[in-house]
Amino acid sequence: MALGDFSFPDRQTVLGQLRDGDAPPWDLIVVGGGITGAGVLREAARRGYRALLLEQQDYSWGTSSRSSKMVHGGLRYLASGDYKLTRDSLRERERLLREAPGLVDRMGYYFTVRKKTFPNRLVMSLVLAVYDWIAGVRDHRACNNDELVENYPGLSCSDLKGACYYTDAVTDDSRLVLRVLQEAFLAGGKALNYLPVKQLLKEGGDVRGVLVEDPASGAILPIRASVVINATGAWADNLRNEVNPEKRIRPLRGSHLVIPQSRLHVSQALALLHPQDKRAVFIFPWEGTTVIGTTDLDHTGDPNTEASITEQEVHYLLSMVDHQFPDAQIGLADIISTWSGVRPVIGAEHATDPSKERRDHAVWCDSGLVSVSGGKLTTFRLIALDALKAAAARLPVVEECLQEQIFTPPDRLACELMPSDPEWGQRLLGRYGSLATILLAIAPAAEHRRIVGTDFCMAECRWALQRESVLHLDDLLLRRTRLGQLLPAGGEALFEQLRLLFAEERGWNDLQWQVELDRYKHIWQLYYSLPAQLIAAVER
């Protein structure tokens, strides 16, 4: 495929093939369009398998757009003795930093040390020495209160004994999923969002594919494949229970607050122990804002309804900020947006504390269905390889793939044609690879300017509408870009400009725009804003 012709798979073309039975038999079907499913599709396509990914909502709709945005080695996993998970995570972290600068970037962390609090500086220094040794870097050090206060003005020095500094990495998790999908599509993989799998297709007790509902006619379409890989994360038990009644997923909710940097400016991550329960909570910079998170609670809500922050979680996170930055007086009125994600953790039989559950992944094989869940954003490539290994007996024999690179490096011309601002140019290359040049070329020069208060530009919105399977306004504002989370009132100031863009690129009339705008506002208010009772408190 020529880069100039690239787009996500055409929805009507793929649906037409599925309806007519014109597509050759699939080697494997991946169910789930988060980072794990995208990773499986990427690794399958590069090996030459005929692979199709199906997502019931939008790509990265679930956990993979609502993580804590951290690509890290899992410092606490090392402290608890899980050397293998830490080693794998650190090696993959360094791989992502090398291959996708501008999408995955190194970030400094200060872990504060206070009197009569564990871990103390000596213990942290020893753990960090091992952490850096595994990663093949050396950037940890101790720092005093003066350095902390210089970096975090207003930080309470009560009982403070300095901090231990180290580095991990930060990303836009949804954009990471989209970039991995982009690589999979360039290698021949296919995918459809908003096409839910209704049930497994079984013959003689063996899984032979899936059944989906035609969005146009409502007819049930059988899609056959040699193996089905269940990469639905927190939803993995639902599909697996069609062939195995075992329950293994413990859904845990993590929630976050987004506030303006002008109210609490941090240039690097600050790791603090919450005064209430001594859990590690972070305050970190992300996309020009300051993020506070995360919580770690059992999630008992309907898995098909988006997770949202509770009043108790808001107060929990604000109380930590108030304790550490008492003079800042951060309150409800400062919150731009919120987000909550549900982590798919493999539950232990008698576990009580959610924060003590292991974060490694598991793979189960059940009569042609391979289910994979758990794990970390950082290790998605290794998780995908384990899933394909489990499916290998049902797949055609292919030559061993020796190429481990996830992302194709941007070509020389793409690098030369980037904007003069090197940091912003690297950001575009990290998110789109060599396609960044086409993204800029198809948009008017005025759309190359950054949208005020963000590092996104309207050219990215135009590209997403043309090439990235956007069906709804929330796809664009909450996942292709993060404008709905970074700007006041969900990006209200952009609505008129976006109305014109959707009319130009998609032919939406005023009625269709209003329907989509109402849908988006409803979603944003329920799942990305404050709980209703707290909004009422702010308005009073």
Architecture of domain 442-533: Orthogonal Bundle (1.10)
Phi, psi of 190 (to 5 degrees): -125, 155
Q: What is the DSSP string of 352-394?
A: --GGGS---EEEEEETTEEEEEE--GGGHHHHHHHHHHHHGGG
Residues 395, 227: contact at Cβ < 8 Å? Answer: yes
Rounded Cα distance, 288 and 266, in Å:
10
CB-based contacts of 358, cutoff 8 Å, min separation 6: 82, 85, 345, 346, 348, 374
Rounded Cα distance, 179 and 310, in Å:
32
* Cis, peptide link before residue 117, omega less than 30° from 0: no
Rounded Cα distance, 540 and 535, in Å:
9
Residues 148, 110: contact at Cβ < 8 Å? Answer: yes
Tell me the two tokens of residue 530: 């404050």
Rounded Cα distance, 215 and 107, in Å:
43
CB-based contacts of 53, cutoff 8 Å, min separation 6: 29, 30, 31, 32, 33, 37, 38, 40, 41, 181, 184, 189, 190, 191, 192
Angle between helices 495-506 and 458-467 (to 10 degrees): 30
* Cis, peptide link before residue 119, omega less than 30° from 0: yes
Residues 223, 29: contact at Cβ < 8 Å? Answer: yes
Rounded Cα distance, 199 and 531, in Å:
34
Question: Which class is 3-63+174-246+358-394 in CATH?
Answer: alpha beta
Cα 460 to its chain centre, rounded Å, is 18
Tell me the two tokens of residue 107: 């970030």
Residues 223, 209: contact at Cβ < 8 Å? Answer: yes
Rounded Cα distance, 498 and 30, in Å:
33
The SS3 assignment for 255 reads: strand
**What residue type is assigned to position 144 of the chain?**
N
One digit per residue, pLDDT tens: the chain, 540 residues? 678 889 999 999 999 988 887 667 899 999 999 999 999 999 999 999 999 999 999 999 999 999 999 999 888 888 778 889 999 999 999 999 999 999 999 999 999 998 877 788 888 899 999 999 999 999 999 999 999 999 999 999 888 899 999 999 999 999 999 999 999 999 999 999 999 999 999 999 899 999 999 988 888 999 999 999 999 999 999 999 999 999 999 999 999 999 999 999 999 999 999 989 989 999 999 999 999 999 999 999 888 899 999 999 999 999 999 999 999 999 999 999 999 999 999 975 445 566 556 568 999 999 999 999 999 999 999 999 999 999 999 999 988 887 889 999 999 988 988 888 999 999 999 999 999 999 999 999 999 999 999 999 999 999 999 999 999 999 999 999 999 999 999 999 999 999 999 999 999 999 999 999 999 999 999 999 999 999 988 887
What ranges do the domains of the chain cover? 3-63+174-246+358-394, 73-169+250-349, 442-533
Which residues are bridge partners to 280 per DSSP? 273
Residues 41, 189: contact at Cβ < 8 Å? Answer: yes
**pTM greater than the 0.75 cutoff:** yes
Q: How far apart are the first and last CA of the chain?
A: 57
142: closest CA among 157, 121, 116, 120? 121
CATH T-level fold of 73-169+250-349: D-Amino Acid Oxidase; Chain A, domain 2 (3.30.9)
10 Å CB burial of residue 85 (0-12, 13-18, 19+) is buried
